Structure 1
Amino acid sequence: MADAGIRIVLLHDRAGKLLALLPGRKMLDLSRLCQLTGRELQPVKGEDARRFFNQPGLQSETGLTQLLSLPLAIDSGYAEAEVKGYEPHTGWCFSLPHLPRHEQAVRGDFAVLPQEPREAAAGADDAAVITRAVERFTSLRVQQRLEDTLGLPGLSETMQLIVKLRSDAGAGVDDLVPVVKRDPSLSAQVMGWASSPYYAAPGKVRSIEDAIIRVLGFDLVINLALGVAMGQVLKLPEDTPRGSVSYWDQAVYTATLCEQLARHAKVEPKPRPGLAYLGGLLHNFGYLVLGHLFPPHFSRLSRYIEANPHLEQRLVEQAVLHVTREQIGGWLLDSWKLPSEVCAAVRFQQEPEHADEDERIYAQLIYLSSRLLRSRGLSDGPHTACPQGWPEALGLDEAQVNACLDDLCSSADSLAELSGMFKKRG
Structure 2
Amino acid sequence: MGCDAADPSAARLVLLHDNLGKVLVLLHASKLLNLVSIWRATERHLQPVKGEDVRRFFSQEKLQTSEGQKRLFSLPVFVDPECEAQESLSVIEPHSGLRFVADRAWYLSTMQPMRVGLSVSDIERAQPQGNDEQVITHAVERFTALRIRQRLEDTLGLPSLAPTTQKIIMLRSDSSAGVDRLVPVVKVDPSLSAQVMSWSVSPYYAAPGSIQSIDDAIIRVLGFDLVVNLALGIAMGKTLTLPDDVPRNQTPYWLQAVYTATLAERLAKKMPLDMRPKPGLVYLTGLLHNFGYIVLAHLFPPHFSLLSRYIEANPHLRFDYIEKHLLHVTREQIGAWLMESWALPEEVYRGVRHLNDPLHPQADAFSQVVHLANRALRQAGWADGPIEPLDTELLAKTGLTQAQITAELEQMRADDEALQELTRTLADH
Q: What TM-score do the two structures reach when normalised by structure 1?
A: 0.95
What residue number does 2:3 align with?
none
Query: Which runs of 5 or more structure 1 residues have no equivalent in the other structure?
Result: none
Q: Does 1:57 align with 2:62?
A: yes
What residue number does 1:97 align with?
103
SS of the residue corresponding to residue 144 of structure 1 reads coil
Q: Per-residue CA shift, 1:147-176, capped at 9, x if unaligned? A: 111111111000100000001111111100
What residue number does 1:254 align with?
260
Q: Does 1:135 align with 2:138?
A: no
Could you list the runs of 4 or more consecutive aligned residues of structure 1 that deviate by over 6 angstroms after TM superposition? Answer: none
Aligned positions of 1:266-285 closer than 5 A: 266=272, 268-285=274-291
User: Residues 28 and 304 of structure 1 are in contact (CA less than 8 Å); yes or no, is this contact kept in structure 2?
Assistant: yes
Q: Does 1:424 align with 2:397?
A: no
What is the CA-CA distance between 1:194 and the residue it aligns to? Answer: 0.8
Distance 2:30 2:22 in 1: 23
Distance 2:311 2:228 in 1: 33
What is the letter of the counterpart of residue 18 of structure 1?
V
Q: Which moved more, 1:79-88 or 1:226-235?
A: 79-88
User: Residues 368 and 394 of structure 2 are in contact (CA less than 8 Å); yes or no, is this contact kept in structure 1?
Assistant: no
What residue number does 1:381 align with?
385
What residue number does 2:330 align with?
324
Aligned positions of 1:361-380 closer than 5 A: 361-380=365-384
What residue number does 2:25 align with?
20
Identical-residue share of aligned pairs (%): 52
Distance 2:392 2:224 in 1: 37
User: Residues 114 and 316 of structure 1 are in contact (CA less than 8 Å); yes or no, is this contact kept in structure 2?
Assistant: no
Distance 1:351 1:2 in 2: 21
SS of the residue corresponding to residue 8 of structure 1 reads strand
Q: Which moved more, 1:31-40 or 1:320-329?
A: 31-40
Distance 1:229 1:7 in 2: 41
Count of matched residue positions in the alignment of Structure 1 and Structure 2:
419
Aligned positions of 1:19-98 closer than 5 A: 19-78=24-83, 79-98=85-104
What residue number does 1:344 align with?
350
What is the CA-CA distance between 1:144 and the residue it aligns to? Answer: 2.3
Q: Per-residue CA shift, 1:267-306, capped at 9, x if unaligned? A: 5242111000000000001001000000010000000000
Q: Which moved more, 1:412-421 or 1:271-280?
A: 412-421
User: Residues 2 and 86 of structure 1 are in contact (CA less than 8 Å); yes or no, is this contact kept in structure 2?
Assistant: yes
Q: Does 1:233 align with 2:239?
A: yes
Q: What TM-score do the two structures reach when normalised by structure 2?
A: 0.95
* Greater RCO structure (CA 8 Å; 6+ sep): 2
Say which of 216, 219, 222 aligns to 2:225.
Answer: 219
Q: Per-residue CA shift, 1:393-420, capped at 9, x if unaligned? A: 2112232211111111221221121111
What residue number does 1:178 align with?
184
Distance 2:282 2:115 in 1: 44
Distance 1:210 1:225 in 2: 17
SS of the residue corresponding to residue 371 of structure 2 reads helix
Q: Per-residue CA shift, 1:233-252, capped at 9, x if unaligned? A: 11111100000101100000
- The structure-2 alpha-carbon separation of the partners of 1:102 and 1:48, relative to structure 1 and needing over 3 Å to count, comes to same
Distance 1:34 1:267 in 2: 54
SS of the residue corresponding to residue 198 of structure 1 reads coil
Distance 1:23 1:261 in 2: 36
